[in-house]
Amino acid sequence: MPGLPNGLNRYAHICGWGTAVPDTILTNSELSRMVDTDDEWIVARTGIKQRYIANGKETTASLGVEAAKAALDTADISPNDLDLIIVATSTPEHNFPSTASLIQDELGASKAGAFDMGAACTGFVYALSVAGQIIQSGAINTVLVIGSETLSKIVNWEDRSTCVLFGDGAGAFVLQGSEVPGGILTSVLRSDGSGGDLLKVPAGGSALPASYDTLRDNLHTITMNGREVFRFATRVMADACREVVSAAGMTMDDIDFIVPHQANARIIEAAARNLNLPLDMFIMNMDRYGNTSAASIPLALCEAVADNRIKPHNNLVFVAFGGGLTWGATLVTWGVSKSTSPHQVWHKLRRQALYRVARIRSAVRRSTRMIEGALWGGEEMDDN
Ligand code: ACO
């Protein structure tokens, strides 16, 4: 196994993984009753047959929490062991507080820092790379990386060219430091902001704050130049794979599986042709999930792990593209098998108790803050 190109000898392994999806499925034939489309067109042009859609109570944070709890169960660690939580998302709960902070509070991860990562569909690859390098540097040891999206809430449900593509869901990885070679080896992160207009949500930020006009003109939903994004995606997916593999001193022959962003089966087929690789090396599940943006790679990987396609020591390339424009790839040697501790059931019960304590602690902190504010808030400000 080659060492890390950065010369460090601390490795960042994926030791926990989990997913969550909303309860409701929206099929192509149901969609065809909402907009002028049909199952045949959607399957032929995208490979998508259905997607999960969040209800009013299912949010980016609630799906992220569910995926995170599943990942902590697989890793069999306590939320108190987390040093950092990164949430890759384009559909955060708010501009601020970060969705990562809300998830930190729900988990009761009292020693963890938390921030959101905004790189659209490439967000999970960016977050994995950052998490891996912080762990390799020795600064911290345990990071929870979550990709969570509720894109259905920013889709224009009257625009057939976009609304058929997207779905909701979340996936999470726990990364931990180890002296054992493997885990995250190399990453390639790229951006070309000149293509920002090709894929965007025009309003709601500082450039075009929410107003009566932006609401009337439906500017808070996804707009996309599908053909241009398609052309860009087919080019960069193959380039990023080649670069990340060569940075690790490997060749494509060393790679067992590619886990691509699940935007469109035709984009993945084009990348496979460009790389001269068989399509069965590419993990694909967009037929059941649609494009879940930053959640799509962990959702695909977790399925492949669950059905035993991924084996220890397999070399995997995670590769994604998205708004920004952004693209990137990360090369991972899958090294750690699922925890088999005989105390796992007890640990799980303990984690569930910790989540309940976290809720109570959060409620108490809110109440205490309110009472303190009412009693002394004015006085302290007068003193200053
Ligand atoms: N149902 C039926 N017909 C449709 C639909 C639909 N849902 N959508 C578009 N059409 C029509 C168009 O109007 C057009 O009709 P026309 O020829 O009469 O004008 C025709 O189908 C062909 O349209 P194209 O846009 O050329 O179709 P294309 O083959 O390019 O497929 C698609 C469109 C699926 C959007 C494709 O371009 C694509 O996948 N692009 C990449 C999108 C993507 O990956 N986006 C996510 C990026 S990741 C992120 O950061 C969010």
Ligand 1 pocket, mutate which of 230, 261, 292, 321 (most atoms under 8 A from CB): 230
pLDDT of residue 9: 87
CA angle 243, 318, 265 (to 5 degrees): 105
- Is residue 341 pLDDT above 90, yes or no? no
The residues lining ligand 1, judged by C-beta closer than 6 Å to any ligand atom, are: 37, 41-42, 45-46, 120-121, 160-161, 164, 199, 224, 226-227, 229-230, 233, 263-264, 291, 293, 322-323
Q: Are 265 and 234 in contact (CB under 8 A)?
A: no
In sequence order, which ranges of 119-225 are alpha helices (DSSP H)? 123-137, 160-163, 212-216
What radius of gyration do the chain's Cα atoms show?
21
CA 225 – ligand 1 centroid, Å: 8
Around 328, how many Cα atoms within 13 Å sit in the side-chain half-sphere? 25
The pLDDT tens digits of the residues spanning 138-182 come to 999 999 999 999 999 999 999 999 999 999 999 999 999 999 999
- Band the pLDDT of 380: cuts 50, 70, 90: low
Which of 155, 221, 227 should be mutated for ligand 1, with most atoms under 8 A from CB? 227
pLDDT (mean) for 363-369: 94
- Give the Å distance between the CA of 88 and the centre of ligand 1: 25
Res 342: pLDDT: 78
User: What are the boundaries of each domain within the chain?
Assistant: 11-333, 341-384
Q: How many residues does the chain have?
A: 384
Considering only CA atoms, which residue is closest to atom 2 of ligand 1? 37
Residue burial 90-105, b: 16+ Cβ < 10 Å; e: rest: bbbbeeeebbbbbbbb
The answer to whether 57 and 115 have CB atoms below 8 angstroms apart is no
Residue 253 has pLDDT above 60, yes or no: yes
pLDDT tens-digit readout, 26-64: 999 999 999 999 999 999 999 999 999 999 999 999 999
Q: To the nearest whole percent, how much of the chain has pLDDT over 90? A: 91
Query: Per-residue pLDDT averaged across 317-329, rounded?
Result: 98
Provide mean pLDDT across the span 213-219. 95
pLDDT of 1-22, one tens digit each?
556 776 668 999 999 999 999 9
Give pLDDT, residue 336: 65
Cα 45 to averaged position of ligand 1 atoms, centre (Å): 7
Give the per-residue pLDDT at 4. Answer: 73
Rama region for 324: left / alpha / beta (φ>0; ψ in -120 to 50; rest): left
State the distance from the centre of ligand 1 to the C-alpha of 211, rounded, in angstroms: 29
Question: Does 384 score more than 90 pLDDT?
Answer: no
- Strand pairing of 257-260 and 315-322? parallel
Give domain 11-333's CATH number out of 3.90.1150.10, 3.40.47.10, 3.40.50.300, 1.10.760.10.
3.40.47.10
Predicted pLDDT of residue 338: 58
- Binned at pLDDT 50, 70 and 90, residue 374 comes out as confident
* Residue 155 and residue 221 in contact, taking contact as beta carbons nearer than 8 Å: yes
pLDDT at 6: 66
**Active site members:** 121, 261, 291
The token duo for 79 is: 């939320």
Ligand 1: which residue has its CA nearest to atom 12?
Answer: 161
Mean pLDDT for the stretch of residues 276-303: 98
Which pTM value belongs to this model?
0.94
pLDDT tens digits for range 65-110? 999 999 999 999 999 999 999 999 999 999 999 999 999 999 999 9
